[in-house]
Structure 1
Amino acid sequence: MSKAPRAVRLDAATPEAQAEILPESEPFDPVEPVAVPIKKRSGISWGTLFVAGLSGFLALSVSVWIERTVTSLMNENPVLGYAAAACAAVAALALVVMLAKVLRDILRERRVEALRERAVTVLAGGTLDQAKDIAGELQRLYASRPETAKGRAELADSLPQLFAPRDVLAVAERSVIAPLDAAAQAQIASAARRVSLVTAVSPRALVDVVFVLVACARLLRAIAGIYAGRPGALGLLRLARQVMGHLVVTGGVAAGDALVQQVIGQGLAARLSAKLGEGVLNGLLTARIGLAALAVCRPLPFVEVEPPTLSDVAGDLSSWRGSSETP
């Protein structure tokens, strides 16, 4: 005869009757991490082939046109033919000189980039000899700049007394780069004030856009000239692309700086006219582009010096707020 089921309280049961529930572990096979190969682009892209082919075609077309023009003038009038040949030779010589300057600017910019990358590697864990090599390269880079003579002399005197890679780069930054940083920040502040003033009083939006673009281009050339020499047209385009890439990576276009938050948070739109507020924001954007160019053109990373912020180069723009308030 079977017994009727009944409920049993586990907490009231004897220790012998208490049930102990343990987690059940199941054996599993460890999964080895699989390295997913990343396909790297190799060879020449189609865009490069297109530009190269189009450039070659245009060069051949211009050469054939020049040759036919000179030949035709020679047949009609030898004097005009020789004059045309001389003009073509002068134009060809000027083109070669311009291309040589562009190549020099690009090589100099890459030299600065390579120097900065080496400095970053040394800061991450390099040797003293590597740091001193970077300091020597920095001295050779600015050997023709008279404004860096005092800093280069101080660096040369301090090198025998330094025994840590970071100390070498810190002294190089303080002696050689700090004066250049001050000049670059002065250029950024001046450009930001100029853009703010002109766009605040300009009656047309098209004038604002054109002036901001021209001011930013001049600012990029000025900062590049301070650190590595003034770039040409192609060098300026390359620098602008690097600056835009830096802004995208750092999120610099977004108004996240403390100064922008302060200006907007204190009710700038309510205290100023809309046009003056637009001028202030255009000045802040110009200053942010200048700071990105400073970071791109600087031959050393920031070792001990704090990176400049918008408050350092455009802090006086917010003072316009108080001048427009009625007493």
Structure 2
Amino acid sequence: MTSTQRPRAFRIPAADQTGAIEGDVAPPSTVRMVEEPFEIVEAADGTPVPVAPKSRAPWLSLLLVALGGLVSLGIGLSLERMISDLFAAAPWLGRVALVLLGLAAVALAAIVVRELAGIWRERRIELLRARAVEAMATRDHTGAQAVVRDLAALYAGRAALAGGTKRLDTLGDAILDVDDRLAIAEHELLSPLDRQARNAVATAAKQVSAVTALSPRAIVDVAFVVFSAVRLLRRIATIYGGRPGFLGFLRLARSAFAHLTVTGGMAVGESMLQQALGLGIAARVSAKLGEGVLNGLMTARFGLAAMAVCRPLPFIREPAPRITDVAGELLKGSGAEKPAP
């Protein structure tokens, strides 16, 4: 079939009159960009369509659970047979074994409670630090007030910080900027704790440096460095209110090493130049002295990373400690020596 419509002419409106024509659709004023298409997809009507997460078989978790169950069953059966044999041999031996088993169960329960309490305290501090960072990023005044209240509650039982807690209570609902409110809380509550932590780091660095320089065996150096790092991490966590158990200590150690890795281990700039010069001069005097300075500096680095991990707030207005603040005497002492002729 042939078309019966005749040709038609249309008038093209001017550019400034395009939007005035009835029925025209205005172009979109904004363009929505999605940076994470694998996490969420914006549909055409604006309804978020979640993408199903990738499922992975928890083989490692299943292995650990299965092995733990087998070990628990084996221990239980062994204890049951031992107690039965003791009852068969002499009833009083069986009763003594039951009493000892009860004491072991009570001790195990106490250890579990202590470990859970330590992990809870660490999680509380980590959550407090994350909330403070989020409040500063979003300028959330209500969130900042909640962080200050929780921080004051964390240190409510410390007599040395009672004055700072009272001064924070007087602020109440005063109109303050988010950074100012958190900075006041940092100055009143965390400044004294920062001084204690810096002193602990400086003391540990001096001890490691002296023992390494004087010890005759390398195994003694390694053992004392590890012992000092463990004691320093526990000390700093206790200062800031963590008091971790064994599992909590492992979590803190992993976080501290991760922070040390992210920050590069050795700082770049004037601090690293001082370290290199001090270590070079000390090594010329004595190889053991150079090892002592190096181990002391690395202990100080680990202590600074532990402070950043255990502190309930990030450094806002208070200056973050540097290597020269906690190990400056090591650098000065090594630089003051003159090389032997």
TM-score, length of structure 2 as denominator length: 0.81
In structure 2, what is the equivalent of residue 133 of structure 1? 146
1:94-147 CA-partner distances (Å, limit 9, x unpaired)? 011101110111111011101100000111123222111111101111112222
**1:182 is matched with which residue: 183, 188, 195?**
195
The more displaced of 54-63 and 97-106 is 54-63
1:89 lines up with 2:102 in the alignment: yes
In structure 2, what is the equivalent of residue 280 of structure 1? 293
Conserved? CA contact 2:128–2:313, under 8 Å: yes
1:198 lines up with 2:211 in the alignment: yes
Conserved? CA contact 2:119–2:245, under 8 Å: no
1:260 lines up with 2:272 in the alignment: yes
1:170 lines up with 2:183 in the alignment: yes
1:163 to 1:187, Cα distance in 2 relative to 1, 3 A: same
Give how far 1:44 is off.
6.8
In structure 1, what is the equivalent of residue 171 of structure 2? 158
1:218-260 CA-partner distances (Å, limit 9, x unpaired)? 0000001011232111111111101111111111x23636333
The more displaced of 94-103 and 33-42 is 33-42
Alignment of 1:1-327 (within 5 A): 36-37=37-38, 45-251=58-264, 253-254=265-266, 256=268, 258-265=270-277, 267-269=280-282, 271-325=284-338
Q: Matched residues in 1 for 2:300 and 2:54: separation?
A: 36
Give the SS at the match of 1:237: helix
1:290 to 1:40, Cα distance in 2 relative to 1, 3 A: farther
Give how far 1:270 is off.
5.5
Give how far 1:291 is off.
0.5
Conserved? CA contact 2:212–2:292, under 8 Å: yes
Matching residue's letter, 1:140: A
Matching residue's letter, 1:297: C
Name segments (4+ residues, structure 1) moved above 4 Å: 32-36, 38-44
Matching residue's letter, 1:150: G
User: CA RMSD for the aligned pairs?
Assistant: 2.2
Q: Which runs of 5+ in 1 are unaligned?
A: 1-31
1:319 to 1:295, Cα distance in 2 relative to 1, 3 A: same
1:187-244 CA-partner distances (Å, limit 9, x unpaired)? 1000000000001101111111111001000000000101123211111111110111
Q: Matched residues in 2 for 1:141 and 1:185: separation?
A: 21
Q: Which runs of 5+ in 2 are unaligned?
A: 1-32, 40-51
1:290 to 1:66, Cα distance in 2 relative to 1, 3 A: same
1:62 to 1:78, Cα distance in 2 relative to 1, 3 A: same
Conserved? CA contact 1:173–1:300, under 8 Å: yes
Matching residue's letter, 1:37: F
Q: Matched residues in 1 for 2:183 and 2:308: separation?
A: 17
1:306-327 CA-partner distances (Å, limit 9, x unpaired)? 2111011111111222553379
Q: Matched residues in 1 for 2:68 and 2:273: separation?
A: 48
1:257 to 1:294, Cα distance in 2 relative to 1, 3 A: farther
Give how far 1:33 is off.
7.5
1:141-171 CA-partner distances (Å, limit 9, x unpaired)? 1112222212111211234434221111010
Conserved? CA contact 1:271–1:321, under 8 Å: no
Q: Matched residues in 2 for 1:141 and 1:93: separation?
A: 29
Q: Matched residues in 2 for 1:188 and 1:35: separation?
A: 42
In structure 2, what is the equivalent of residue 26 of structure 1? none
Give the SS at the match of 2:312: coil
The more displaced of 85-94 and 262-271 is 262-271
Give how far 1:271 is off.
4.2
Give the SS at the match of 1:119: helix
Matching residue's letter, 2:275: V
Q: Matched residues in 2 for 1:308 and 1:71: separation?
A: 61
Give the SS at the match of 2:289: helix
Give how far 1:46 is off.
2.0
Q: Matched residues in 2 for 1:43 and 1:219: separation?
A: 38
